[in-house]
A and B are shown apart, each in its own frame.
Chain A
Amino acid sequence: MAKIRGAILVDVEACKGCGVCIPACPQDVLDLAKEVNGKGYNYSYMKNPEACIGCANCAIVCPDGVISVYKVKVA
């Protein structure tokens, strides 16, 4: 069976670190970084990138639309 692998790209400088994407992820991929961006927010990042399935749940709840989602089928 083909396996789906996903990944997200976060616009770090636009992320406000609200954390709404974290409970939206069914695979528990996301977390807030310990580092901060230029505005002083702890931005969202993939702490567990292997588990991402590219469902885009995080991106559709992101109030600032900073998440882009990519998905590939791995044979």
Chain B
Amino acid sequence: MAEITIQDIIKKENLVYTKSKVMTDATLSYCPGCGHGTAHRLIAEVIEEMDIQSQTVGVCPVGCSVLMYNFLDLDMQQAAHGRAPAVATAIKRLMPEKFVFTYQGDGDLAAIGTAETIHACNRGENIVIIFVNNGIYGMTGGQMAPTTLKGMPSSTCPYGRDIEMMGNPLKMTELVAQLAGTYYVTRQSVHSPRNVRRAKKAIRLAFENQKLKRGVSFVEIVSNCNSGWKLPPVKANEWMEENMFPFYPLGDIKVDGEIVSK
């Protein structure tokens, strides 16, 4: 048997995985190791697999992912800070045949946009909400967010979040699972191959639910913010496993309109 070289393997017909065509060629503006890039790619892959690129409208938030419209080759609408679910509601009601999703961070969805999120979920708008939770305001310099963990340092609480003074971290996903309008609520992460595969299945299910007009599908992605947490990328992922997951446990919270975990 002749020895096979790398050049023999790297041929078009042997390709098993490459970046989705729904992503543009623009270099992502995120820090090295940021989970936003993986989350974008999963959305792009799901849209490519479902062949709904021309029927999808995304709503960008304010935050690190504000430039998302540069990275996804989709129709995108920019919303004011926190107002993405309200804008998505309007788009979906005016164009019910389109697939509409919002992509929001924790500062956007869980702080300034709490009212819009809760009411859109309670009304049961037929949209997909992707919520990327890294427990910090990444874009503006790592300030404390509503989702910052107890004792977690940030630039506005350098000695760690003090519950007595700053209040408790907010579990937005458990909160919206209680509302009658949500159909599918889940929490995933994108830091390891296994979790990426699960997150992709969750996003796929969310878009399938929208096709069947089932109500809000809410997918939280617990992500890292290595710049805000001041850790190297791989260490940030380890820190996330040790500290974020005990408070934000991964898994489905509501499936087919029934709460499956407390």
Contact = CB atoms under 8 A, between A and B. Distances in A.
Interface of A: 5-7, 9, 14, 16-20, 22-24, 41, 46, 49, 54, 56-57, 59-72, 74-75
B190 interface: yes
A69 B18 contact: yes
User: What 8 A-B pairs have minimum CB-CB distances, sorted nearest first?
Assistant: A63-B37, A18-B33, A16-B32, A65-B19, A18-B32, A7-B9, A57-B193, A68-B18
A63 B197 contact: no
B70 interface: no
Q: Which of the four size classes fits the interface of chain B? A: 35 or more
A72 B38 CA distance: 26
A63 B236 CA distance: 14
A54 B16 CA distance: 8
Contacts of B191: 20, 61
Which DSSP category, helix, strand, loop or mixed, fits chain A's interface?
mixed
B4 interface: yes
A74 B4 contact: yes
Contacts of A70: 9-11, 14-16
Given A5-B9, A63-B36, A19 B234 contact: yes
Interface stretch (B22-30, B48-56, B123-131, B143-151): B22-30
A23 B234 contact: yes
A65 B23 contact: yes
Contacts of B23: 65
Contact of B33 (A20, A68, A69): A20
13 contacts: A6-B9, A7-B6, A7-B10, A19-B234, A23-B234, A46-B6, A59-B18, A60-B197, A61-B192, A63-B33, A63-B34, A72-B14, A75-B1
Given A18-B233, A68-B17, A72-B8, 14 more contacts: A5-B9, A7-B9, A18-B33, A20-B237, A23-B234, A60-B17, A61-B38, A63-B30, A63-B33, A68-B15, A70-B11, A70-B16, A71-B14, A74-B4
A66 B14 CA distance: 17
A57 B16 CA distance: 11
B164 to A, nearest CB: 37
